[in-house]
Amino acid sequence: MSEQTIGQPPAGEKPVAPPEAKNSNNELFRKITQGPGLVSVLGVFVALVIGGLLVAVTDKKVIETSSYVFARPSDFFSQLWRAGTESYVALFNGSIYNSAQGFSPFLETLTVSTPLICAGLGVALAFRAGMFNIGAQGQIIIGATMAGYVGFAWHLPLVLHLLLVVLFGLLGGALWGGLVGLLKARTGAHEVILTIMFNYVALYLLDFLMNTTAFRRPGETNPISPILDANATFPAMTGSRLHLGFVMAILLTVLVAWMLKRSTLGFEFRAVGHNPEAARTAGVNVARTTILAMAFAGALAGAAGVAQVAGTEKVLTVGVAGSLGFDAITVALLGRSTPWGTFFAGLLFGAFRAGAVNMQISTGTPIDIVLVVQSLIVLFIAAPPLVKSIFGMNPKKRVRKTETIKAGAK
Amino acid sequence: MRFLSRKTGVAAAMLGISALALSACGAAPEESGKAAGNSDYIGCIVSDSGGFDDQSFNQSSHRGLMAAADDIGFKPREAESKSNSDFATNLTGMMNAGCNLTVTVGFLLGDATAQAAASNPEKHFAIVDFQYDKPIENVKPIIYDTAQAAYLAGYAAAAASETGTVATFGGIKIPTVTIFMDGFADGVAKFNEDKGENVKLLGWDKKKQDGTFTGDFEKQDKGKQVTKNFIDNGADVVMPVAGPVGKGAGAAVVDANKGGKDVKLVWVDSDGYETAPDYKAVMLTSVVKTMDKAVEEVIVSDADGKFDATPYVGTLENEGVALAPFHDFDSKVSDETKSELDALKASIISGDLKVESKASPK
């Protein structure tokens, strides 16, 4: 990721044809998924500023005052500032600290970020092995389905029950991810297509299961499962929703960090991710590594499913995965596919989500604005040169810089 | 960004600025110290993942809250849930915001509402489209015996059909959807029985409790495809029970009519003639659930200190459910059919005629 490669001219104007198309794809993939962390930080910053502006210009009072901005400009600008900052203050109050509740909103942030971290790790691990795992959603669903079923259908003693719930959740995810790896390794099918389709299969499978008597709550005609046994759920901290699943997320982060850095398997993942041909030449069994990488990625996403059913929701519904699987991709991208990067990116997104609730209740700002900010973050991360040019970090492109800012501001 | 030359960029910017400047020349209003609300009462609402613009129960419940806010003069609090994990968080947020009564929308919020109600016994709740097995003291269920109105729609559809085939489909197979389809099926059957006809119903088998579903309340193209299949199989009245997916059905009907057919649409939840005006030319009638009115009433009477947990059940009798006017089709529906519908409505209200669905309120 030297400055030269980043400072290259915009796409469509490539001066020298790359020696091999596949290699340049690989290069781009790595640049987007594993580029420098500074881009992430700046991307978040720019996204927040744009988000604030959006809130401000759509605010009713701002629009009102803008009609007489020349007669009394102070109104307009004070309203603009109020609307822009008020939302973020509410976001902070709802995610970190407020005077009425102390730091209990922060516990909520940790709760919300737990599944994001787990699923994000799954996506990040696949990134490091050179694969775009769009399938976290399906892996979460299958993980949650298996964990949930064990949780409400079996009745076992304390500790053992929860352990089995976690185990089956991981297994479910690993199975769903591993299948993709197997198909890719054996048939060469592309993992993006496979995972997208597997998402649908998982969703409709759960949809079907929720309408069977085995999964539906007795006496209930709506597709909702029985509540999980108390023994099968993560113990929660009194007075908050924070549960032991967060510790699981920390442990998984440590485990993935150790695996990628210190273990032979992790080395093989990274080797295949860098260059499958070279890895093969060096004696790595690429097929086996592909299958294992997807299985591990799936298991991590499955852990997110466990955090959902055994941590916060305590029931299985069709919407158990929400949009977690897709948010996880953003989290992994933002974390530059490193375990701890993903961990903190997960915390940040958890804070967004937790704070957004307070934001929409107390200021009436639509919760969608948080989704806009998240999407902008993806945009900026996927286009590192854009962020760099906004901050004038492209050394050779002084002239173009000003143009980009203008265009970006429109 | 590079497609724009510098000149066009500058020109566009000038245009924009002058437009802004023109609109910004108004006079400043007088300062006034009037506060927005004049009541201590706070009414709140938490949606399910459909959001307040779902053209279905979230939206109409939200409208009810807004109407109540206007009646009493309070500042409503609202929270949209983006996923199921937001329910509990949103409810906690509402409790912290000091809501007197919180409206929750849909069965998915059942557990979360029960939990919030248990830990906040002094607060009141109302849950739309869901009823607990064991009633909870501070939760008022707002439910609808939709089958009653759907029955009339089924009868009207069968009477209006020229091909002798009508159809219905759902978004997701949940009771609040299938109750429409059950009532519709029974209405068609009643028509056949009374008239000795044999109008067929596609898309729902009441006995088997199974039929055609598009799988969600979002994908309009799926609704269009399903409806096209029904029309190809001879159906000339279609009732989509799938929220916004109904628009896909409307598009398919309009397409078919351009091709020389004469297909009609039966809308659900609200009067489609008003809420889906694009298709008013093909709108035979609608099966209406007046959720906004029920929500408004519950909030207003709670603000008066008259809360009770007895379920509000919308029926033909209390006009919680209704068959919408025929509007443009009014002249095409025979007086005979109209008087039969009136008679059926009267006997449902009097209890002589029981419309039963597995999904009916208990």
In A, residues 90-119, which contact B (CB 8 Å cutoff)? 94, 100-101, 108, 112, 115
pLDDT of residue A361: 87
CB pairs under 8 A between A and B: 118
Q: Do B1 and A404 touch (CB under 8 A)?
A: yes
pLDDT of residue B21: 56
pLDDT tens digits for range B65-100: 999 999 999 889 999 988 888 898 899 889 988 999
- Per-residue pLDDT averaged across A55-69, rounded? 81
Contacts of A351 in chain B (CB under 8 A): none
pLDDT of residue A159: 94
**Parallel/antiparallel/unpaired status of strands B101-105 and B124-128:** parallel
B1 touches chain A (CB under 8 A): yes
On whether the CB atoms of residues A83 and A271 are closer than 8 A, the answer is: no
Q: Buried b vs exposed e over B106-123: b needs ≥16 C-beta within 10 Å? A: bbbbbbbbbebbeebeeb
Above 90 in pLDDT, residue B178? Answer: yes
pLDDT of residue B33: 41
pLDDT of residue B153: 97
State the pLDDT confidence band at A392, using cuts at 50, 70 and 90: confident
Alpha helices, DSSP H, located in A129-212: 136-153, 160-187, 191-210
Q: Is B158 exposed, middle or buried (0-12, 13-18, 19+ CB in 10 A)?
A: buried
In B, residues 88-107, which contact A (CB 8 Å cutoff)? 88-90, 92-94, 96-97, 107
pLDDT tens digits for range A147-164: 999 999 999 999 999 999
Q: Do B24 and A70 touch (CB under 8 A)?
A: yes
pLDDT of residue A211: 84
State the pLDDT confidence band at A409, using cuts at 50, 70 and 90: very low
pLDDT of residue A363: 85
Q: Do A408 and B174 touch (CB under 8 A)?
A: no
Task: Give the type of residue at B255.
Answer: D
Name the more confident of B199 and A9: B199
Above 60 in pLDDT, residue A6? Answer: no
pLDDT tens digits for range B182-218: 999 999 999 999 999 999 999 999 999 999 999 888 8
pLDDT tens digits for range A245-294: 999 999 999 999 999 999 999 999 999 999 999 999 999 999 999 999 99
Q: Choose among A211, A367, A406: nearest Cβ to B80.
A: A367
In A, residues 282-341, which contact B (CB 8 Å cutoff)? 308, 312-315, 317-324
**DSSP state string for A289-315:** HHHHHHHHHHHHHHHHHHIIIIIII-S
Q: How many CB atoms lie within 10 A of CB A238?
A: 6
pLDDT of residue A390: 80
pLDDT tens digits for range B120-176: 999 999 999 999 989 999 999 999 999 999 999 999 999 999 999 999 999 988 889
pLDDT tens digits for range B290-315: 888 999 999 999 999 999 999 999 99
State the pLDDT confidence band at B361, using cuts at 50, 70 and 90: confident
State the pLDDT confidence band at A123, using cuts at 50, 70 and 90: very high
Above 90 in pLDDT, residue A168? Answer: yes
pLDDT of residue A99: 84
Average pLDDT, chain B: 89
On whether the CB atoms of residues A198 and A135 are closer than 8 A, the answer is: yes
Contacts of A404 in chain B (CB under 8 A): 1
Q: How many CB atoms lie within 10 A of CB B15?
A: 10
pLDDT of residue B91: 93
- Three-class DSSP category at A368: helix
Q: Choose among A75, A227, A323: nearest Cβ to B82.
A: A323
Q: How far apart are CA A271 and CA A281, in angstroms?
A: 11
Closest listed residue to residue A110, CA positions, set A304, A341, A346, A331 = A346
**Taking the model in full, what pTM does it have?**
0.79
Structure tokens at A300: 């991590």
Q: How far apart are CA B230 and CA B306, in angstroms?
A: 49
* A184-193, A306-315, B22-31, B185-194, range with the lowest pLDDT: B22-31
pLDDT tens digits for range B102-128: 999 998 899 999 999 999 999 999 999
Q: Do B1 and A371 touch (CB under 8 A)?
A: no
pLDDT tens digits for range A326-373: 999 999 999 999 999 999 999 999 999 888 888 888 888 888 888 888
pLDDT of residue B12: 62
Q: Do A322 and B84 touch (CB under 8 A)?
A: yes
On whether the CB atoms of residues B187 and B151 are closer than 8 A, the answer is: yes
Contacts of A289 (CB under 8 A, 6+ apart): A129, A265, A268, A269, A271, A272, A279
pLDDT tens digits for range A38-51: 888 888 888 888 88
pLDDT tens digits for range B318-328: 999 999 999 99
Above 90 in pLDDT, residue B352? Answer: yes
Average pLDDT, chain A: 86
Q: Is A255 exposed, middle or buried (0-12, 13-18, 19+ CB in 10 A)?
A: middle
- Taking each helix axis from N to C terminus, what angle separates A104-128 and A286-306, rounded to the nearest 10 degrees? 160
Above 80 in pLDDT, residue B274? Answer: yes
pLDDT of residue B83: 84
Name the more confident of A31 and B258: B258
